[in-house]
Amino acid sequence: MNRSRVIVVQIGLLVFSAVMAFSQEDPESVSAMLGPRGEGLIIARCAVCHSADLITQQRLSRTRWEATIEKMKHWGAEISDQEADLLIRYLSARYHPNAPANVPPLSHEIGKSEPLKQEPQAQRPVIGVAARGAGVFEHNCQACHGGGAMGGMGPRLAKNPILKLDVLFRETVLYGRGPMPAWSSVLSEQDIADVHEWLLTR
Amino acid sequence: MKGSGELAKFSRRRWLKTLLGFGAGLAMHPAKFLAWAADMTPARDESTLTVRVSRPFDAETPVRAFTSFLTPNDHFFVRSHFGPPSAETIGESQWTLHVGGAVERSNEFTMESLKQFEPVTITAVLQCSGNGRAYHRPKAPGVQWERGAVGNAQWTGVRLRDVLQAAGVRAEARHVMFQGADRPVVATVPLFVRSIPLEKALHPDTLLAYEMNGRPLPLLHGAPLRVITPGWMAESCIKWLTHIEVREDEASGYFMQTAYRVPVKSEQKDTGRTDNATAPVEVMPVKSLISSPEDGQAVMAGGVRIKGVAWAGETRIAKVEISIDEGNTWQTAQLVGDDRLYAWRQWQFLWQATVQGTFAIVCRATDERGHVQPAATSWNPSGFLWNGWDRVTVRVHPHE
């Protein structure tokens, strides 16, 4: 190979790596940006079967995070493709192979997670639709509160006095309580009203 | 909810006592256990165990506890796939053991009828296949166990062989499958089902154990009955045992066909899946641990007594060696205490620490078949069977 060809190749490589570096997401900013949503998803989508510490102690490459989430979906994790994409980006930015052993633990603090959609503050009260609520319940609540909301690992919600206390119900669902996940980063106000309405019919 | 107040009042210490303690744990309903365990955060100082996963509960023993030959029940590591089953299935009046499959006569035992077989006691190491996973590079997914997912206990029970022979094993039988009463929170998760080859099942030392260190098996350790396969990794030692099925083939399902297997040929790629042929994890490889001094401890210059344990699956320990110079030179430690097949062997070494400074103490064991503990274990995708040299770092201080 002659000298000028070598130089051309070298310049090419330089340009290529500069472009790559530019387009690559900086893990720290990705993890800060996706943090609230990602943490919310872990609690809402994953903590049904195991506590979040099993997830946050891993230090995995993106491929292995992808494979892990695929396995969890296969086993019954209720997570949409879009949520899974976001969670994989978040996990591989925060819990990657070179991350320190003690990444600060997930914050379970109330109200930390961003609301799902920036809905304009409701002009009128949100009206729940029971028929939609059945689906919301099945995908998000049934694993813990049992079929027909008759109770399981979580308390029975059918005929539960809390259903009469609208504000308390909404806040318990939004922010979680004890082992009960916070749903603020996954469910909209409408979803919560729908599931509330459906529970009232049980 | 009515239960939550009660739960909050119950201290974490008492909780562990109840579950690890002396069979009394059955009083607690698993729903409460789950709700409660979810609240637990890893607490090194409050409990005798280091919690790795709070729900389902996984916790390891601090290695300083390994200065004693037997590991006490409430210090013994806990590994749960789904956590303890409900009292309805394993309570004394409800529990039964079903034996079926490729046998002449299917059988159903109560604890009382099982105890008509001759009782046997064996001291054996129980170790999680993932013990030491945290040291594999690249990191492998799974519970990030360090050194303490292992313990040595006295197991009392009946021989699996006696139970199988009473049922009459048919000629085509090759494997014996076990299932416990534990169930996942969500029914789509595969059950924790495992099988072992018939040869191991018929070995006179393979037990169905109902006592641990002379006490009824604690709830977290599989009450009322668990399998003990001495010398083999703990995933064969099914807890809360309710079903035994004699079969022609290996058990199917995730926990037998995908998990708890290692590639037959070693590999270094981290792709999350393997195309190589795999084999189930079985025998424990030779391994040793330093139980004293502790990692990071300060010691006084002069004679420092180094203590530890070593074990080697289905054979005995021949030698334990210590190095203070990262394995360049080795000195032989003294084997002490009980020498029993399947149990661990205690050892000690008097190190003349004359120079002050920071030192890494490294140990390695050799078994009677000549296998030597390697500096690092070859990598496998699930991070199993770690048996690299054990290491603690100490600071030697001058005498005042």
Q: What is the pTM of this model?
A: 0.82
For residue B382, give both structure tokens.
């699930």
Q: What is the 3-state secondary structure (H, E, C) of chain B?
A: CHHHHHHHHCCHHHHHHHHHCCCHHHHCCHHHHHHHHHHCCCCCCCCCCEEEECCCCEEECCHHHHHCCCCCHHHCCECCCCCCCCHHHHCCCCCCEEEEECECCCEEECHHHHCCCCEEEEEEEEECCCCCHHHCCCCCCCCCCCCCCEEEEEEEEEEHHHHHHHHCECCCCCEEEEEECCCCCCCCCCCCEEEEEHHHHCCCCCEEEEEECCEECCHHHCCCCEEECCCECHHHCCCCEEEEEEECCCCCCHHHHCCCEEECCCCCCCCCCCCCCEEECCECCCEEEEEECCCCCEEECEEEEEEEEEECCCCCEEEEEEECCCCCCCEECEEECCCCCCCCEEEEEEEEECCCEEEEEEEEEEECCCCECCCCCCCCCCCCCCCCCEEEEEEEECCC
For residue A74, give the H/E element and its range: helix A62-75
Per the CB < 8 Å rule, is B185 touching A178? no
Range of the domain at B357: 287-397
- A3: pLDDT strictly greater than 70: no
Tell whether B43 lies on the interface with A, counting CB pairs under 8 A: no
Instruction: Based on the fold, state whether residues B154 and B223 are members of the same structural domain.
Output: yes
What is the spatial distance between Cα A55 and Cα A195, in angstroms, rounded to a whole number? 28
Query: Mean per-residue pLDDT for B353-364?
Result: 96
**pLDDT one-digit tens code per residue, B111-141:** 999 999 999 999 999 999 999 999 999 999 9
State the ipTM, two decimals. Answer: 0.85
**pLDDT one-digit tens code per residue, B219-270:** 999 999 999 999 999 999 999 999 999 999 999 988 999 889 988 876 655 5
pLDDT of residue B7: 32
Tell whether B139 lies on the interface with A, counting CB pairs under 8 A: yes
- A14: pLDDT strictly greater than 70: no
pLDDT of residue A16: 47
pLDDT of residue B277: 87
CB neighbourhood size of B290 (10 A)? 26
Query: Mean per-residue pLDDT for B47-70?
Result: 92
- A23: pLDDT strictly greater than 60: no
Per the CB < 8 Å rule, is A75 touching B271? no
Domains by residue range for chain A, with CATH: 25-112 (no CATH), 130-199 (1.10.760.10)
Instruction: Based on the fold, state whether residues B264 and B291 are members of the same structural domain.
Output: no
Per the CB < 8 Å rule, is B188 touching A179? no
Per the CB < 8 Å rule, is B270 touching A61? yes
**CA distance, residue B268 to nearest chain A CA (Å):** 14
What is the spatial distance between Cα A141 and Cα A146, in angstroms, rounded to a whole number? 8
**Nearest-5° Cα angle at B25, B23 to B26:** 90
Q: Dihedral sign for Cα B240, B243, B244, B250, please.
A: negative
Please give the backbone phi and psi of residue A109, each rounded to the nearest 5 degrees, phi first: -65, 145
3-class DSSP state of A70:
helix
**pLDDT one-digit tens code per residue, A156-195:** 999 999 999 998 999 899 888 877 877 887 889 999 999 9
What is the spatial distance between Cα A195 and Cα B360, in angstroms, rounded to a whole number? 59
Q: Dihedral sign for Cα A178, A183, A184, A189, please.
A: negative
Residues of B in contact with A47 (CB under 8 A): 38
Residues of A in contact with B141 (CB under 8 A): 58, 60, 64, 68
Query: First CA to last CA across chain B, in angstroms?
Result: 60
Q: Choose, out of B186, B188, B255, the residue to mutate when testing the contact with A (most A CBs < 10 Å).
A: B186
| Cα dihedral B65→B66→B69→B70 (10° resolution) | 60
What mean pLDDT value characterizes chain A? 81
What mean pLDDT value characterizes chain B? 87
pLDDT of residue A118: 40
Q: Choose, out of B4, B53, B79, the residue to mutate when testing the contact with A (most A CBs < 10 Å).
A: B53
Instruction: Based on the fold, state whether residues B178 and B307 are members of the same structural domain.
Output: no
CB neighbourhood size of B229 (10 A)? 27
Q: Which residues pair with B211 in a beta bridge?
A: B156, B216
- Number of structural domains found in chain B: 2
- Lowest mean pLDDT, pick from A75-79, A107-111, B45-49, B332-336: A107-111
Per the CB < 8 Å rule, is A153 touching B271? no
Instruction: Based on the fold, state whether residues B377 and B269 are members of the same structural domain.
Output: no
Instruction: Based on the fold, state whether residues B174 and B77 are members of the same structural domain.
Output: yes
**pLDDT one-digit tens code per residue, B12-33:** 333 344 344 323 222 333 333 3
**CA distance, residue B142 to nearest chain A CA (Å):** 7
Chain B, nearest residue to A75 by Cα: B189
Query: Mean per-residue pLDDT for B350-362?
Result: 96
**pLDDT one-digit tens code per residue, A87-100:** 999 999 999 999 99
What is the spatial distance between Cα B40 and Cα B49, in angstroms, rounded to a whole number? 12
Instruction: Based on the fold, state whether residues B165 and B133 are members of the same structural domain.
Output: yes
Longest alpha-carbon distance in chain B: 75
pLDDT of residue A152: 82
- A5: pLDDT strictly greater than 80: no
pLDDT of residue B303: 95
Residues of A in contact with B270 (CB under 8 A): 61, 63-64
What is the spatial distance between Cα A157 and Cα A73, in angstroms, rounded to a whole number? 26
The pLDDT-based confidence of A31 (bands split at 50, 70, 90) is: confident
Instruction: Based on the fold, state whether residues B220 and B336 are members of the same structural domain.
Output: no
pLDDT of residue A120: 47
Per the CB < 8 Å rule, is A60 touching B141? yes
**CA distance, residue A76 to nearest chain B CA (Å):** 6
**pLDDT one-digit tens code per residue, A131-149:** 999 999 988 898 889 889 9
- B49: pLDDT strictly greater than 90: yes
CB neighbourhood size of B310 (10 A)? 27
CATH at residue B165:
3.90.420.10
The pLDDT-based confidence of B361 (bands split at 50, 70, 90) is: very high
Domain-terminating residue out of B280, B299, B316: B280
Instruction: Based on the fold, state whether residues B96 and B174 are members of the same structural domain.
Output: yes
- A79: pLDDT strictly greater than 80: yes
- B3: pLDDT strictly greater than 50: no
CATH at residue B365:
2.60.40.650
**pLDDT one-digit tens code per residue, B149-200:** 999 999 999 999 999 999 999 999 999 999 999 999 888 999 999 999 999 9
- B360: pLDDT strictly greater than 80: yes
Instruction: Based on the fold, state whether residues B363 and B270 are members of the same structural domain.
Output: no
- A115: pLDDT strictly greater than 50: no
Instruction: Based on the fold, state whether residues B274 and B292 are members of the same structural domain.
Output: no
Instruction: Based on the fold, state whether residues B56 and B126 are members of the same structural domain.
Output: yes
Per the CB < 8 Å rule, is A97 touching B55? no
Instruction: Name which residue leads in pLDDT, A75 or A28.
Output: A75
Instruction: Name which residue leads in pLDDT, B322 or B41.
Output: B322
